[in-house]
């Protein structure tokens, strides 16, 4: 594929992603490439890198342009980041399979470009994100972390095998079940992937699962299970003993979880659709030792992996999500038995979704108390805890992980 053809695909993808704000960028790209089998793997990598760079720098590029369009975003990126001249872009537009020629207006706009701040964020977000080191770290590319499935294997064996196979890998410093790759590698054809020994999961997400402190024989509810990423880790710690319930309002996500659970060798679980199984949920009050609420959130902590999210987020989104999180917490608390725990987590770095929700919950529910993360960390992970506060806020620049928040509430045993 020629550079001109690559640039044309970049423009098409940016246009499609901006036109489909409800669909994740990676899903749009997968569909695009699936329908264009003629685009080879090396071309896909080049095109994908350019698309993600443009999305990552969207706010800055938009500020540098008088008018924003997918074409102008791509051309501005070529000029300001790839240091191509207007003449070089002209030539690309003249080649076969390349973009259509630059208009006179586009030439004028591109000729007036000024350097931009790559760490720009939307104005309304600035009061919530004041730490420049955090903002910069959310701009970086994320590492690739995997979790070793203890139902199938152990970290030492997997590390040794991956090193033997030529992979650049190292143990994660916070999660005792994690491995971090020095560079991206295709894993889906590796025997360790095929036999269920490996699962892609950010280190902070692994720690959230560990801090649920689940044990064999427990009754555990993953209330917002989605496709089951954290449930897989919880199931491993339960050693297929006890009862693990995965619930969600999206049945298709639960079906994806079912396939993943099967590959991982998980046998002791049930899937429950919150909408369809309402009568079942009414009978589950005061039943569970652990209830995990991995709540829907803005996803600001995942901007390294999903740079399109920071361009789509609106103040209304944040307000609606905060209300939804409170509604879910109110629902989930009733399933916690006396002596049990409610674990609240988000992949956000915004206080309204995190520490502010902790304050709200404790004011609303005097029958729950907060358990310091450090205490549970020492019991469940048995490594030094990097947090001195009652809650934990993971960030890329401090912990090398996605931005994750976790708080742990306990419902004390009733006094006789």
Residues involved in catalysis: 347
The answer to whether 153 and 160 are in contact (CB under 8 A) is no
- Please state, as a whole number, how many other Cβ atoms lie within 10 Å of the Cβ of residue 324: 13
- Please state, as a whole number, how many other Cβ atoms lie within 10 Å of the Cβ of residue 181: 17
Does residue 121 come out as left (phi exceeding 0), alpha (psi in the -120 to 50 range) or beta? beta
Per-residue burial over 84-100, b = 16 or more CB atoms within 10 Å of its CB, e = otherwise: bebeebeebbeeeebbe
Where helices occur in 82-122 by DSSP H, the ranges are 86-94, 104-111
Nearest to 344 by CA among 359, 357, 335: 357
DSSP 252-287: HHHHHHHHHHHHHT--SEEEEETTTTHHHHHT-TT-
């Amino acid at each position: 594929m020629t550079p001109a053809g690559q640039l044309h695909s970049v423009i098409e993808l940016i246009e499609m992603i901006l036109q489909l704000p409800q669909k994740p960028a990676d899903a749009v790209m997968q569909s695009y490439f699936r329908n264009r089998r003629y685009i080879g793997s090396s071309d896909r990598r080049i095109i994908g890198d350019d698309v993600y760079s443009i999305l990552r720098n969207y706010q800055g590029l938009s500020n540098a342009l008088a008018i924003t369009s997918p074409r102008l975003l791509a051309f501005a990126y070529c000029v300001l980041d790839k240091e191509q001249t207007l003449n070089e872009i002209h030539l690309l537009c003249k080649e076969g399979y390349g973009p259509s020629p630059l208009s006179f207006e586009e030439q004028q706009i591109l000729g007036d470009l000024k350097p931009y701040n790559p760490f720009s964020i939307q104005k309304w977000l600035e009061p919530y994100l004041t730490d420049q080191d955090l903002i910069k770290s959310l701009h970086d590319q994320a590492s690739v972390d995997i979790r070793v499935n203890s139902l199938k294997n152990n970290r030492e064996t997997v590390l040794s095998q991956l090193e033997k196979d030529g992979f650049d890998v190292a143990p994660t410093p916070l999660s005792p079940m994690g491995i971090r790759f020095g560079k991206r590698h295709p894993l889906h054809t590796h025997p360790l992937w095929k036999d269920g020994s490996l699962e892609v999961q950010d280190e902070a997400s692994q720690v959230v699962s560990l801090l649920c402190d689940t044990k064999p024989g427990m009754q555990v509810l993953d209330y917002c299970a989605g496709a089951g990423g954290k449930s897989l880790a919880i199931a491993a710690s339960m050693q297929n003993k006890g009862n693990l319930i995965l619930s969600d309002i999206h049945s298709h996500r639960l079906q994806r979880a079912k396939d993943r659970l099967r590959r991982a060798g998980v046998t002791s679980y049930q899937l429950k659709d919150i909408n369809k199984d309402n009568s079942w949920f009414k009978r589950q009050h005061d039943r569970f030792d652990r209830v995990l609420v991995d709540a829907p959130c803005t996803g600001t902590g995942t901007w390294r992996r999903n740079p399109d999210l920071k361009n789509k987020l609106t103040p209304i989104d944040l307000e609606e999500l905060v209300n939804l999180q409170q509604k879910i917490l109110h629902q989930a608390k009733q399933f916690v038995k006396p002596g049990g725990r409610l674990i609240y987590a988000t992949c956000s770095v915004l206080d309204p979704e995190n520490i502010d929700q902790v304050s709200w919950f404790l004011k609303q529910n005097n029958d729950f108390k907060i358990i310091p993360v450090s205490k549970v960390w020492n019991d469940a992970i048995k490594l030094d805890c990097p947090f001195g506060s009652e809650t934990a806020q993971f960030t890329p620049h401090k912990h090398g992980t996605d931005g994750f928040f976790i708080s742990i509430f306990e419902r004390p045993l009733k006094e006789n």
